[in-house]
C-alpha cells in the first residue's frame, strides 16, 4: 500500500472496538434490503413490464437507437452497472487510501444508491429508461460502498476475531432481507385492502428499500471512525487518485504472478461466482416471465432462500471439515449445474417445484461463497492480506458483468428464458474444471502458509 499507519486496533479498548463492530454490522443490515427486495424480487419483473409497455410491435425498445428486446433490458442494465462500478472503484479506493477518510466516501456512495432506489417510486407507464438509469446508479453505488465497508474490517477487528465479525455482518444482512421481505409480502398480497393497485404496491416496496438503506446507514456513520494515515516519507503521494488506484491494482496483480496457483484459484472463483450472482439476479425474471409465477410466489421463494442460506453455509462448513473446502466447493458447483438443469425443465405455473428449486439454491448459496473466501485466505501470502483481498474484490466486480450479458444475449437471440438460464451452465462447468486443476495444498505451501490437515 502507498500509505502506512500503526496497528489500527492498537490502543483501543474492547468497548470502543465492540461499539464500532456493532455499527459496522448495521451497514449490511441497511443495504442488503436492496439486494433482496429490489434486485432479486421486484425490479426485474417490474422493469421488464415497463419496458414491454414501451416496446414496439416486435417487442423491442430502442435506448439510444439500439434495438433491445424488452425482456433483456434488466440483464443489460445490471451488466452496465458493474462496468460503471469497476470504473469508479479505483478512484474511490485511491482517495480512501490517500486520505484515510473512508466514512465520507461510504456516506456518499450509500446515499447515492439509497436515493436512486427511493426514486424507483416514480417508475411507471413506459419510463423504462428512467428505470434502467436508476438501476445502474443504485447497483454501482452499492458495489462502491461495499468496497469501503469491507475495508473497515481489518481496522475494527483483531486478526483472530475477523471471521466471527465478518460472519455476524453477513447474518445481519440476511436478517434484514428476511424482515423486509415479510413486510413486502404483506403489502403486496394485501394491496387491495390498502386501497393500492399492484403497481403501486411494487413501487412502494422499491422505494421503502431505499429509505431503509438510507435510515440504517446512519448507525455505521455515527459509530465508525476514520484513521489518520501517514505516507512512509511524511509527504502526500504526488500521483493522482485515479492513477494511484489503477497502479495499486496493477502492482498487486503483477505480484500475484509470483504465486500462479493463487491466481489460478482466483480465476476459477471469478468464473463460477459470476454464474452464482447471475442466477440470483435473474431468477425473478425467469420465474415471472417463463414460469408465469406471481410476485407472492417469488417473494416466498426468496424468503426460503434467505433462511436456508444460513443453514446451508453451516452445513457446508461441517462438510468441509470432513472432506476439505475444495471438494465441498466442487460438489456445490455440481449441485448448481443440476439446479440449472432442473430449472430448464421446470414446468410453468408449478409453485411447489419452484420452491424446491429455491430451497436447493439456499442450501448451496451461502456455503459456496463462504468456503471460497476462506479457501482464498489460505492462498494469500502473509502480510499482503489487504492488497490481495482488494484485488479479489475489484476482480470479482470486474467480471460479474459477463453473466448478465450472456443471459441477456441468450434471450436476445432465442427469445427463450429457458435457453438463457441453461446458458449459465458454462460458468459452473468452466469454474469446476479450473478449480479441480488447482493443487490447493501445494498452493498454500507456495504462499508460505501452514497447510491445514483438511483443505
Dig out the grid coordinates for 178 from the structure: 428476511
Contacts of 331 (CB under 8 A, 6+ apart): 319, 323
Of the chain, the end-to-end C-alpha distance in Å amounts to: 30
* Low-confidence residues in the chain, pLDDT < 50: 1-8, 10-11, 231-239
Question: What pLDDT does 428 receive?
Answer: 95
CA distances from 361 to 31, 175, 337, 426, 451 (A): 22, 18, 11, 17, 31
Question: What pLDDT does 11 receive?
Answer: 47
Largest CA distance in the chain: 68
Q: Which of 382, 363, 360, 372 is nearest to 446 (CA)?
A: 382
Which phi-psi region, left, alpha or beta, contains residue 415 (left: φ > 0; alpha: ψ -120 to 50)? left
Question: What pLDDT does 383 receive?
Answer: 63
With helix as H, strand as E and coil as C, how does the chain read?
A: CCCECCCCCCCCCHHHHHHHHHHHHHHHHHHHHHHHHHHHHHHHHHHHHHHHHHCCCCCEECHHHCCEEHHHHHHHHHHHHHHHHHHHHHHHHHHHHHHCCHHHHHHHHHHHHHHHHHHHHHCCCCCHHHHHHHHHHHHHHHHHHHHHHHHCHHHHCCHHHHHHHHHHHHHHHHHHHHHHHHHHHHHHHCCCCCCCCHHHHHHHHHHHHHHHHHHHHHHHHHHCCCCCCECCCCCCCCCCHHHHHHHHHHHHHHHHCCCHHHHHHHHHHHHHHHHHHHHHHHHHHHHHHHCCCCHHHHHHHHHHHHHHHHHHHHHHHHHHHHHCHHHHHHHHHHHHHHHHHHHHHCCCCCHHHHHHHHHHHHHHHHHHHHHHHHHHHHCCCCCCHHHHHHHHHHHHHHHCCHHHHHHHHHHHHHCCHHHHHHCCHHHHHHHHHHHHCCCHHHHHHHCCCCCCCCC
Dig out the grid coordinates for 24 from the structure: 459496522
Question: What pLDDT does 163 receive?
Answer: 58
CA distances from 197 to 188, 191, 200, 202, 418 (A): 9, 6, 5, 9, 30
Summarised one tens digit per residue, pLDDT across range 373-405 is 778 877 878 766 656 666 676 656 555 668 888
Question: What pLDDT does 108 receive?
Answer: 96
Dig out the grid coordinates for 161 from the structure: 476475531
Q: Residue holding cell 466471527?
A: 164
Amino acid at each position: 500500500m502507498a500509505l502506512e499507519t500503526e496497528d489500527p486496533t492498537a490502543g483501543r479498548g474492547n468497548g470502543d472496538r465492540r461499539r464500532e463492530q456493532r455499527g459496522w454490522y448495521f451497514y449490511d443490515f441497511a443495504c442488503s434490503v436492496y439486494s433482496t427486495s429490489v434486485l432479486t424480487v421486484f425490479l426485474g419483473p417490474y422493469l421488464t413490464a415497463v419496458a414491454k409497455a414501451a416496446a414496439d410491435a416486435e417487442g423491442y425498445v430502442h435506448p439510444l437507437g439500439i434495438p433491445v428486446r424488452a425482456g433483456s433490458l434488466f440483464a443489460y442494465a445490471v451488466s452496465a452497472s458493474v462496468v460503471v462500478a469497476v470504473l469508479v472503484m479505483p478512484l474511490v479506493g485511491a482517495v480512501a487510501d490517500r486520505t484515510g477518510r473512508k466514512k465520507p466516501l461510504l456516506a456518499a456512495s450509500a446515499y447515492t444508491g439509497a436515493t436512486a432506489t427511493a426514486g424507483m417510486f416514480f417508475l411507471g407507464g413506459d419510463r423504462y429508461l428512467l428505470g434502467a438509469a436508476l438501476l445502474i446508479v443504485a447497483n454501482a453505488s452499492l458495489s462502491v460502498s461495499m468496497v469501503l465497508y469491507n475495508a473497515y474490517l481489518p481496522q475494527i477487528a483483531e486478526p483472530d476475531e475477523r471471521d466471527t465479525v465478518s460472519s455476524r455482518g453477513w447474518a445481519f444482512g440476511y436478517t434484514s432481507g428476511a424482515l423486509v421481505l415479510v413486510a413486502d409480502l404483506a403489502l403486496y398480497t394485501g394491496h387491495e385492502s390498502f386501497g393500492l393497485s399492484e403497481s403501486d404496491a411494487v413501487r412502494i416496496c422499491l422505494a421503502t428499500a431505499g429509505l431503509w438503506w438510507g435510515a440504517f446507514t446512519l448507525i455505521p456513520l455515527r459509530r465508525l471512525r476514520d484513521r489518520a494515515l501517514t505516507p512512509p516519507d511524511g509527504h502526500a503521494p504526488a500521483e493522482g487518485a485515479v492513477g494511484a488506484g489503477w497502479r495499486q491494482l496493477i502492482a498487486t496483480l503483477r505480484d500475484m504472478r509470483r504465486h500462479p496457483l493463487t491466481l489460478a484459484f482466483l480465476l476459477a472463483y471469478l468464473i463460477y461466482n459470476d454464474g452464482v450472482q447471475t442466477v440470483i439476479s435473474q431468477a425473478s425474471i425467469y420465474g415471472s416471465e417463463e414460469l408465469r409465477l406471481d410476485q407472492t410466489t417469488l417473494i416466498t421463494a426468496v424468503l426460503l432462500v434467505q433462511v436456508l442460506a444460513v443453514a446451508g453455509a453451516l452445513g457446508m462448513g461441517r462438510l468441509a471439515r470432513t472432506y476439505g473446502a475444495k471438494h465441498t466447493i466442487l460438489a456445490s458447483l455440481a449441485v448448481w449445474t443440476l439446479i440449472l438443469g432442473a430449472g430448464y425443465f421446470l414446468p410453468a405455473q408449478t409453485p411447489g417445484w419452484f420452491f424446491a428449486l429455491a430451497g436447493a439454491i439456499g442450501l448451496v448459496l451461502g456455503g459456496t461463497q463462504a468456503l471460497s473466501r476462506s479457501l482464498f485466505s489460505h492462498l494469500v501470502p502473509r502480510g499482503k492480506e489487504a492488497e490481495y483481498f482488494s484485488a479479489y474484490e475489484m476482480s470479482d466486480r470486474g467480471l460479474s458483468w459477463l453473466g448478465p450479458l450472456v443471459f441477456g444475449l441468450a434471450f436476445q437471440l432465442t427469445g427463450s428464458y429457458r435457453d438463457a438460464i441453461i446458458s449459465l451452465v458454462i460458468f459452473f462447468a468452466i469454474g469446476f474444471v479450473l478449480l479441480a486443476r488447482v493443487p490447493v495444498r501445494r498452493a498454500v505451501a507456495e504462499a508460505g502458509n501452514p497447510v491445514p490437515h483438511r483443505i
